Amino acid sequence: MSIWEFANPVRFMRLTGKVLPWITALAIGCLAVGLIWGFFFTPEAENFGSTVKIIYIHVPAATLAINAWGLMFVASLIWLIRRHHVSALVARAAAPVGMTLTLVALITGATWGQPMWGTYWEWDPRLTSFLVLLIFYLGYMALWEAIDEPDKAADLTSVLAMVGTVFAVISRYAVNFWNQGLHQGASLSLDKEEHVSDVYYVPLLLTLAGFFFLFLALVLLRTGTEIRARRIKALQLQEVN
């Protein structure tokens, strides 16, 4: 039994059909418990007041926005090397979800920045990097839409994902060089000294898990849709001929 068996669209569909309800349930459960706990039952933070509650959506959304691009990078690489169609479609399916999460991270960050930093937008390295990430998502999705032939679109977007990853990383550090910024340090870290205090930690982990399962559920659902859409296209072509 190897993971490559799920490169077969039929097997992939059968598996996702089975696990999707469970993942959805997990997503709803974790998000509900985490958000209610975080929103209603955590104290105000010393220096942030009640705005600390935004952390429960901002941090998970930002974490997943970056990791969604990472997923697209790996899936594109697998497509380029092994040419499994499911892999290319996973990358395509993840892009709009990643873009939405990037937007969520930007908007929650901006509303939080207004009372805390005194401005909605600050050209801070982390904020700026997320804006760059948003543009990379937009370009990636636009390229998928612009090319009609499915395999060629998968090829070219994969190249873009490779190049984009390299330059997103370079930009991240270039932006650091350009402006030191105001952003808080890491909220979650294995280094105990650094991350937020325990009161906020557990609900944060729960919403992080919730956002992760939500992302996973959406990607699986959208990948299934893409596989079906591809099949419809193939059948229609057969009918014409």
- Residues making contact with another protein (CB under 8 A): 39-40, 44, 49-51, 53-54, 57-58, 61, 96-97, 100, 103-104, 107-108, 111-112, 114-115, 132, 135-136, 138-139, 142-143, 146-147, 152, 155-156, 159-160, 162-164, 166-167, 170-171, 174-175, 177-178, 214, 218, 221-222, 224-225, 228-229, 231-232, 235-236, 239
CB of 108 to another protein, least distance (A): 4
Cα–Cα distance list, 93 to 66, 68, 84, 146, 227 (Å): 15, 10, 15, 16, 10
The encoded tokens of residue 185 equal 């340090």
Amino acid sitting at position 12: F
Nearer of residues 75 and 79 to another protein, judged by Cβ: 79
Nearer of residues 80 and 194 to another protein, judged by Cβ: 80
The encoded tokens of residue 107 equal 């908007």
Nearer of residues 194 and 202 to another protein, judged by Cβ: 202
CB of 109 to another protein, least distance (A): 9
215 with 101: CB under 8 angstroms? yes
CB of 123 to another protein, least distance (A): 11
What is the per-residue DSSP string for 165-211? HHHHHHHHHHHHHH--------SS-SSTTTS--HHHHHHHHHHHHHH
Cα–Cα distance for residue pair 116/100, rounded to 1 Å: 24
CB of 49 to another protein, least distance (A): 5
Nearer of residues 4 and 39 to another protein, judged by Cβ: 39
